[in-house]
């Protein structure tokens, strides 16, 4: 394992874009970020529900900058085009192709922990050898109606399916290449036609994923890290003209209304190349596209991939996520997220103003794996009761809630309680009031409300009506006046543990990244620092430590930890290739009232100061 592989374990990413970032920046490192996050998934698994993720209001469309709104569209037209998508909040991603035949195993050898649809790339399978999976692909159990009904039952409003992935195999009848499901498999049917009909029938919108740049089959198609078979060599522009342009025309004209075109991995996509494809978007009125075309096109949506962003973005965004650790079916991936995690992920995403595009990877027989079906039904059962708190809502007005998430509609707040209060009182940190509070579905049994300095106190049942997420509705909230989140307090042994994702971040660049293992990253500026408001239990001496990662090449930075008016100075040392708990020394805390705690670099030795995960103050026994 080289340095890159090692570092990958730490640089888990969640792309947090407090301000609109430029497209080029967003895509230049996309591939790497994705790699890291996918590894992170495999390394650590996901406990989304345990994350104290922050939510922040999505920016209203009025803040959209001209770069976001296509030049031929007014902000109002843009909002009208995005309307259904913003209301939908939940969709199904389907990764299906001939990679479901090897399903992670080629010639008796497992591809390892990586994503199944990448098997050809991962195992450097020659073009001809991989193409031999096409005649073995005969998904006789495929039932478009069943898939669409399942999506609908789960509460999903749209489907995005891979029409062609990086392996270059078209899942539709194409005149541009015979490497397609109708011409190259015994199945001979066009599943996208059948899906389009089923979507029409059940009122689900249909979108197509299309890998425009990477194509490991066609000469000239791009391949991350370079080609491995001479058959792949060729002129990329010619590939775009001869394969991509006609195929995108096909998928945008032969399948009725198409709601979304989902580009991916803009490998080697220059502006000139992207210019060949961008005009095709006009073939479908109202088409929504993502930010992965390349060439400087922003598209309509940010697309964090398998990374839960700590906050929303300043424009429309969609989190795409796997249910296990692969997109395309892999026979030996059984690392499924729980129904509880998935339900809370729907809630979490909506609370940050985004959509969740949750993936299924059907088998080579055309079946959605049983564990996926079970989980979608669990999500669906929750949505059946609670979808009012998801559809058509906007982001939470609260920066952080200790007990769950929130979303809102005009004059209404939806409170999704993950951690039910033990004392029968739920404190909603808002100065303003509400006309009425009730459990969603029990409007006739209002909950008692009382204002308090900590916020609106609601008298709730003794035990959680829904242990996963109970939704409480506040009606007549007007404009919510949210209180700042309460100060952090000590655990029962007096220890104060401050997580990076709960800090207020000041200065340029500094941001939170990661999935289960969040950390502060891009700490390249000595003016940047995280700060927490902390309420200590009692005065005394505390032992300070940080859980952080400092690579060998970046040791020797100097910094100060400040608690109220007390300071401890320190110097970073290399942490040996992993996150490590580093002792910083002792500090006296004289007062206990809420006070700021911060970590400020005074000199940054190399590019980055440190990757900080947790700052801990532990009382030293007197
Ligand atoms: O379609 C799904 C992925 O196949 C695709 N996007 C989602 C929606 C995707 N393309 N690239 N990536 C995801 C990230 C790429 C990660 C890589 Fe790797 C790191 C490519 C090579 C090293 C992951 C790990 C794939 C192979 C090894």
* HEC sequence for 515-544: CCCCEEECCCCCCCEEEEEEECCCCEEEEE
- Output the residue whose Cα is nearest ligand 1's atom 4: 117
pLDDT at 412 over 90: yes
CA of 597 to the centre of ligand 1 (A): 39
As a whole number of angstroms, the distance between CA 172 and CA 162 comes to: 10
User: Do the Cβ atoms of 240 and 294 come closer than 8 Å?
Assistant: no
As a whole number of angstroms, the distance between CA 290 and CA 209 comes to: 10
- To test the pocket of ligand 1, the residue of 5, 8, 13, 31 to mutate (highest count of ligand atoms within 8 Å of its CB) is 31
CA torsion sign for 326, 330, 333, 336 is positive
Residue 487 DSSP one-character state: P
- Output the residue whose Cα is nearest ligand 1's atom 19: 35
Tens digit of each residue's pLDDT (9 = 90 or more) over 123-152: 999 999 999 999 999 999 999 999 999 999
CA of 461 to the centre of ligand 1 (A): 46
As a whole number of angstroms, the distance between CA 78 and CA 75 comes to: 5
- Output the residue whose Cα is nearest ligand 1's atom 6: 264
- DSSP H or E stretch at residue 150: helix 144-154
Q: Would you state the structure tokens that stand for residue 305, as one six-digit string?
A: 């991939």
Q: Would you state the structure tokens that stand for residue 581, as one six-digit string?
A: 């708990």
As a whole number, mean pLDDT of residues 52-77 equals 53
pLDDT value, residue 56: 35
User: Do the Cβ atoms of 118 and 224 come closer than 8 Å?
Assistant: no
436-439: strand order across its sheet: 404-409, 412-417, 470-475, 436-439
- Output the residue whose Cα is nearest ligand 1's atom 18: 35
- Output the residue whose Cα is nearest ligand 1's atom 10: 265
- Output the residue whose Cα is nearest ligand 1's atom 16: 35
Q: Would you state the structure tokens that stand for residue 602, as one six-digit string?
A: 């005074």
As a whole number, mean pLDDT of residues 493-521 equals 82
3 state DSSP class of 388 = helix
Q: Would you state the structure tokens that stand for residue 116, as one six-digit string?
A: 């199944």
- Output the residue whose Cα is nearest ligand 1's atom 22: 35
- Of the candidates 15, 35, 383, 320, the one whose C-alpha atom is nearest the C-alpha of residue 161 is 320
Which are the contacts of 77, defined by CB distance < 8 A and separation ≥ 6? Answer: none
pLDDT at 611 over 80: yes
More confident residue, 514 or 372: 372
Q: Would you state the structure tokens that stand for residue 241, as one six-digit string?
A: 């003209």
As a whole number of angstroms, the distance between CA 391 and CA 409 comes to: 10
CA of 488 to the centre of ligand 1 (A): 38
Tens digit of each residue's pLDDT (9 = 90 or more) over 164-198: 999 999 999 999 999 999 999 999 999 999 999 99
As a whole number, mean pLDDT of residues 389-408 equals 95
CATH number of 404-475: 2.60.40.1180
Shortest-distance atom of ligand 1 to CA 327: 2
User: Do the Cβ atoms of 517 and 506 come closer than 8 Å?
Assistant: no
Which are the contacts of 492, defined by CB distance < 8 A and separation ≥ 6? Answer: none
Shortest-distance atom of ligand 1 to CA 264: 6
- To test the pocket of ligand 1, the residue of 11, 207, 224 to mutate (highest count of ligand atoms within 8 Å of its CB) is 224
pLDDT at 88 over 60: yes
- Output the residue whose Cα is nearest ligand 1's atom 9: 265
Between the alpha carbon of residue 116 and those of residues 24, 120, 125, 143, 215, the distances in Å are: 28, 9, 13, 22, 16
Tens digit of each residue's pLDDT (9 = 90 or more) over 280-335: 999 999 999 999 999 999 999 999 998 888 788 889 999 999 999 999 999 999 99
As a whole number of angstroms, the distance between CA 400 and CA 406 comes to: 9
User: Which residues, listed in sequence order, are joined to residue 618 by a DSSP beta bridge?
Assistant: 543
Tens digit of each residue's pLDDT (9 = 90 or more) over 560-601: 999 999 999 999 999 998 899 999 999 999 888 899 999 999
Number of H helices, E strands in the chain: 14, 28
Which are the contacts of 192, defined by CB distance < 8 A and separation ≥ 6? Answer: 161, 163, 171, 172, 208, 251, 255
- To test the pocket of ligand 1, the residue of 13, 35, 304 to mutate (highest count of ligand atoms within 8 Å of its CB) is 35
User: Which residues, listed in sequence order, are joined to residue 544 by a DSSP beta bridge?
Assistant: 585, 617
The confidence band for 50, taking pLDDT boundaries of 50, 70 and 90, is: very low
3 state DSSP class of 414 = strand
Q: 213's torsion region: left (phi>0), alpha (psi -120 to 50) or beta?
A: alpha
Shortest-distance atom of ligand 1 to CA 211: 1
Shortest-distance atom of ligand 1 to CA 39: 24
Least confident range from 5-9, 101-105, 171-175: namely 5-9
As a whole number of angstroms, the distance between CA 511 and CA 18 comes to: 9
Q: Would you state the structure tokens that stand for residue 588, as one six-digit string?
A: 């006296």
3 state DSSP class of 348 = helix
User: Do the Cβ atoms of 312 and 405 come closer than 8 Å?
Assistant: no
The confidence band for 69, taking pLDDT boundaries of 50, 70 and 90, is: low
- Output the residue whose Cα is nearest ligand 1's atom 17: 35
As a whole number, mean pLDDT of residues 403-423 equals 96
Tens digit of each residue's pLDDT (9 = 90 or more) over 508-540: 888 877 655 778 988 999 999 999 999 998 899
Domain 496-621 top-level CATH class: mainly beta
In 3-state terms the chain splits into helix, strand, coil percentages (rounded to 5) of 25, 25, 50
Shortest-distance atom of ligand 1 to CA 320: 8
CA of 559 to the centre of ligand 1 (A): 37
* Ligand 1: lining residues by beta carbon, under 6 Å: 31, 34-35, 38, 95, 114-115, 117-118, 122, 224, 264-265, 305, 320, 327
The reply to whether the predicted model has a pTM over 0.85 is: no
Which residue ranges make up each domain of the chain? 5-389, 404-475, 496-621
- Output the residue whose Cα is nearest ligand 1's atom 13: 34
CA of 115 to the centre of ligand 1 (A): 7
- To test the pocket of ligand 1, the residue of 8, 27, 118 to mutate (highest count of ligand atoms within 8 Å of its CB) is 118
More confident residue, 527 or 37: 527
CA of 487 to the centre of ligand 1 (A): 40
Percentage with pLDDT > 70 across the chain: 88
3 state DSSP class of 581 = strand
As a whole number of angstroms, the distance between CA 264 and CA 277 comes to: 13
> Locate tokens 């805390």: which residue?
589
CA of 228 to the centre of ligand 1 (A): 17
- Output the residue whose Cα is nearest ligand 1's atom 27: 114
- Output the residue whose Cα is nearest ligand 1's atom 2: 327
CA of 305 to the centre of ligand 1 (A): 10
CATH 3.20.20.80 corresponds to the domain 5-389: yes
């Amino acid at each position: 394992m080289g340095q890159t592989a090692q570092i990958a374990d730490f640089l888990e990413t969640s792309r947090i874009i407090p301000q609109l970032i430029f497209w080029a920046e967003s895509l230049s490192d996309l591939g790497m970020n994705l790699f890291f996050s996918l590894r992170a998934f495999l390394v650590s698994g996901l406990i989304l529900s345990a994350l104290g993720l922050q939510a922040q209001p999505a920016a209203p469309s009025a803040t959209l900058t001209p770069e976001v709104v296509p030049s031929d569209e007014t902000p109002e037209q843009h909002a009208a085009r995005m309307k259904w998508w913003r209301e939908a909040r939940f969709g199904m991603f389907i990764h299906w192709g001939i990679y479901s035949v090897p399903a992670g195993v080629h010639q008796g050898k497992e591809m390892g922990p990586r994503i199944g649809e990448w098997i050809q790339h991962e195992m450097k399978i020659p073009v001809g050898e991989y193409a031999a999976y096409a005649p073995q692909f005969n998904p006789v159990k495929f039932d478009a109606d069943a898939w669409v009904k399942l999506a609908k039952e789960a509460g999903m409003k749209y489907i995005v399916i891979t029409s062609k992935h990086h392996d270059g195999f078209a899942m539709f009848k194409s005149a541009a290449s015979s490497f397609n499901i109708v011409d190259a498999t015994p199945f001979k049917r066009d599943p996208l036609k059948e899906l389009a009909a089923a979507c029409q029938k059940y009122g689900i919108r249909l979108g197509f994923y299309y890998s425009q740049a990477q194509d490991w089959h066609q000469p000239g198609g791009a391949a991350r890290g370079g080609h491995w078979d001479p058959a792949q060599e060729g002129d990329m522009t010619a590939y775009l003209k001869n394969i991509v342009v006609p195929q995108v025309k096909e998928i945008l004209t032969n399948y009725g209304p198409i709601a979304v075109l989902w580009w991916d991995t803009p490998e080697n996509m220059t502006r000139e190349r992207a210019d060949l494809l961008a005009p095709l978007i006009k073939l479908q009125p109202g088409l929504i596209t993502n930010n992965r075309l390349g060439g400087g096109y922003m598209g309509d949506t940010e697309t964090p991939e398998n990374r839960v962003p700590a906050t929303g973005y300043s424009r429309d965004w969609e989190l795409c996520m796997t249910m296990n650790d692969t997109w395309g079916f892999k026979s030996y991936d059984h690392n499924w997220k729980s129904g509880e995690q998935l339900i809370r992920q729907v809630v979490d995403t909506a609370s940050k103003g985004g959509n969740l595009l949750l993936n299924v990877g059907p088998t080579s027989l055309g079946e959605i794996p049983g564990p996926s079906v079970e989980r979608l039904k669990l999500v669906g059962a929750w949505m059946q009761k609670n979808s009012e708190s998801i559809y058509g809502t906007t982001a939470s007005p609260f920066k952080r809630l200790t007990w769950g998430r929130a979303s809102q509609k005009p004059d209404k707040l939806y409170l999704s309680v993950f951690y039910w209060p033990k004392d029968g009182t739920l404190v909603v940190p808002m100065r303003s009031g509400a006309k009425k509070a009730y459990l969603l579905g029990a409007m006739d049994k209002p909950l008692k409300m009382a204002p308090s300095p900590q916020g609106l106190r609601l008298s709730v049942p003794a035990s959680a009506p829904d242990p996963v997420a109970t939704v409480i509705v506040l009606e007549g909230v007007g404009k919510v006046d949210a209180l700042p989140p309460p100060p952090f307090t000590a655990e029962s042994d007096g220890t104060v543990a401050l997580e990076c994702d709960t800090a207020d971040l000041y200065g340029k660049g500094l941001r939170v990244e990661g999935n289960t293992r969040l950390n502060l990253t891009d700490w390249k500026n000595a003016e940047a620092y995280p700060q927490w408001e902390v309420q200590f239990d009692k005065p005394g001496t505390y032992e300070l430590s940080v859980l952080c990662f400092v690579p060998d090449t970046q040791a020797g930075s100097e910094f100060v930890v400040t608690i109220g008016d007390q300071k401890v100075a320190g110097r970073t040392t290399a942490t040996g290739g992993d996150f490590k708990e580093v002792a910083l020394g002792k500090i006296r805390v004289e007062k206990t009232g809420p006070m700021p705690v911060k970590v400020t670099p005074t000199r940054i030795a190399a590019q980055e100061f440190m990757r900080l995960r947790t700052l801990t103050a532990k009382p030293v026994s007197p």
